[in-house]
Amino acid sequence: MIKTDVIVLGGGPGGYLAAERAAHGGKEVVLIEKRALGGTCLNEGCIPSKALLNSAKLYEHAKDSANFGVTAENVRIAHKQVIQHKDRVVHMLVAGVGAKMKANGVNVVTGSGYVEGKTEEGFVVQVEDETYLGEKLILACGSVPAIPGIPGLKEGIENGFVMTSKEALSRTNLPEKLIVIGGGVIGLEMASYFAMTGVNVTIIEMLDKIAGPAEREIASILLRNYKRRGVKFRLGCKVTEVTEQGVRYEDKGGERLEQADAVLCAIGRRACTENIGLENLGISVNRGAIETDEHMQTNIPGVYAVGDINGKVMLAHTAYREAEVAVNDILGIEDSMEYEQIPYVIYTNPEVAGVGETEESAAAKGMNVRVANVSMNYSGRYLAEVERGDGTCKLIINTDDNTIVGVHMIGSYTSEIIYGAEMMIGSKKTITDLQKLIFPHPTVCEVVREALFM
C-alpha cells in the first residue's frame, strides 16, 4: 500500500492543476490517469478544436484576401495535414503537463482508479494491483459525450456513421455532407471548421436559438454569419431517429428526413460518476453529477470534486479555478468558488465571448439595467482587418450604481478581450471611473471604451 497526502483521480485540467498546486503547497501527491494527461481538454477538446479552427481560418483568409490586395492562387486545405498539425500540438502540450508534474514531484500513476472506501488513515483507491491511501481525495474524472436513447444513435456511433466530437477531431477525411445534431458550443465550433473547409453542413437544433449561453442578439448575428457561409439551420427541430442515410427530426410541419454522409452528435456532455466507486464512500450525486459546496468539498469531508465531474460549469477554466479552491481548502487557505463571473467563449468565426448578466438574466433578477451597444466598426483596427464585419459589443450597466454587470461581444479577438471585461465587473468600479482607463490604440478592445461613453 502506498500512502500519500493527496490522491487526485483524473489528469485533465482539474486534476493536473490540483496535483500541481497541492505539490507546490508541500503535499505529497499521487495523480491517477487512465489515458493521457491533459484529459478531454488537451487530447480531444479545447486544444484540438482550436488547432483545427485556426487552420480553417487561415484557409478562409487566404481564399478571400483579394479585397485586402493579396491574391493567392490554388489555395487548398489539406485536411490530413491539419490533423497532423493538431496531433503535434497535442503531443507537445501533453508532454508539457508531464514535465510539470515531474518538476513538482507529483507521482503520476497510469491506470484506472477505483475508490474502495475509507479507513481510519484515509481514502483507499485501487489501481490495478496497487492500493493507494490518501488523507485527502480529489475527484476529477471529467465528462464524456451524452448519448441519449435516440433510436439508431448508438448503432450509428458503433458503425462510424455518427461521430462525437472525439471522432470528428481525428477524422482524416472530410464528408461531403454533414448533419450536426445540436447547435450548442461543440456543434457550432465543429460546424465552423467543416463549413470553412467546404463541407455542406446542416445544423439541427431543438431550441429556437443557437449558441446556448450566448446573448440572444449576439447569437442571431452569429447565425447570420453562418448562413452567409452556406450553413443550413433547422431551428426548433428535435432529432428523433438516426437512420442509415441521415436523421429524422420533428418540426412544426411534422416529421422530416435529412440525408448526409456523416452525422456529428453534439447534444451535451455527462459527468463521469459511474464505476469509480462513489457509492463506497456514500458520495452524493445529483442528476449524474457530484454535489459540492463552495470549497469544492463533497458531502464526505476530505473528498473534493472539481471540473466537469460536478456538472456545474463544464469549462476548462472553471476546472482550473475549482482545483485551486479545493487545494486551498486542503492547505488551510481561505478561498471559495464563485460562479457568477465565469467568462465563456465560442471560438467560431467570428468569435463570441461574454461574461456576467445578459439583459434577460438581469431582468429576471429584477435589476435596473441599460444597454450600451457599440458596433465593432468603431474600432479602426477591426475595420482595417475585417472591413465588412458585423461585430458588436454590448455592456449591461446597472443604473442603480452605474457599474457594469455584463459584457457580451461578437467579433475578432473577443476571446482575448473578455478577461478585461471580467475585471471591470469584478472591480465594481463605476462607469465614470472606468472611462479614465487608457486603451492601447488601434485595438479592437477600444470598442469597450467607446461603449463606456454611450
Point out which residues bind ligand NAI (CB under 6 A): 181-187, 189, 204-207, 212, 238-239, 266-269, 314-315, 344-347
Please, which of residues 11-40 interact with ligand FAD by CB under 6 A?
11-15, 32-35, 39-40
State phi, psi for 125 to the nearest 5 degrees: -125, 130
Quick one: what does residue 141 bind among ligand NAI, ligand FAD, none, with the CB cut-off 5 to 8 Å set by partner type? ligand FAD
Count of residues engaged in binding ligand FAD, rule: CB under 6 A: 36
Please, which of residues 104-123 interact with ligand FAD by CB under 6 A?
112-113
Closer Cβ to ligand NAI, 42 or 109, answer by number: 42
Binds ligand FAD (CB under 6 A): choice among 94, 141, 278, 452: 141
Q: How far is the CB of 393 from ligand NAI (least distance, A)?
A: 19
| Contact pattern from residue 285 through residue 324 relative to ligand FAD, giving x for each residue in contact according to CB under 6 A and a dash for the rest | ----------------------xxx----xxxx-x-----
3-state secondary structure 39-99: HHHHHHCHHHHHHHHHHHHHHHHHHCCHHHCCCCCCCCCCHHHHHHHHHHHHHHHHHHHHH
Q: What angle do CA 79, 82, 86 make, to 5 degrees?
A: 140
Quick one: what does residue 206 bind among ligand NAI, ligand FAD, none, with the CB cut-off 5 to 8 Å set by partner type? ligand NAI
Tell me whether residue 410 is exposed, middle or buried, using C-beta atoms within 10 angstroms of its C-beta: 0 to 12, 13 to 18, 19 or more: buried
Quick one: what does residue 112 bind among ligand NAI, ligand FAD, none, with the CB cut-off 5 to 8 Å set by partner type? ligand FAD
Quick one: what does residue 156 bind among ligand FAD, ligand NAI, none, with the CB cut-off 5 to 8 Å set by partner type? none
Closer Cβ to ligand NAI, 238 or 429, answer by number: 238
Q: Report CA 137 to chain centroid distance, whole Å.
A: 25
Please, which of residues 237-276 interact with ligand FAD by CB under 6 A?
272, 276
Task: Give the residue at shortest CB distance from ligand NAI.
Answer: 184
278-286: Cβ within 8 A, 24+ apart: 278/115, 278/139, 280/115, 280/116, 280/117, 281/115, 281/117, 281/118, 281/123, 283/139
Integer Cα distance of 90 and 348 in angstroms: 20
Catalytic annotation present for 408: no
Where would I find the H helices in 261-379? 316-331, 359-364
Interface with ligand FAD, residue 223, by CB under 6 A: no
Written as nine digits, the cell of 288 is: 449524474
Q: What angle do CA 335, 336, 340 make, to 5 degrees?
A: 135
The footprint of ligand FAD (CB under 6 A) covers: 9-15, 32-35, 39-41, 45-46, 49, 112-113, 140-143, 165, 186, 272, 276, 307-309, 314-317, 319, 347
Active site residues: 441
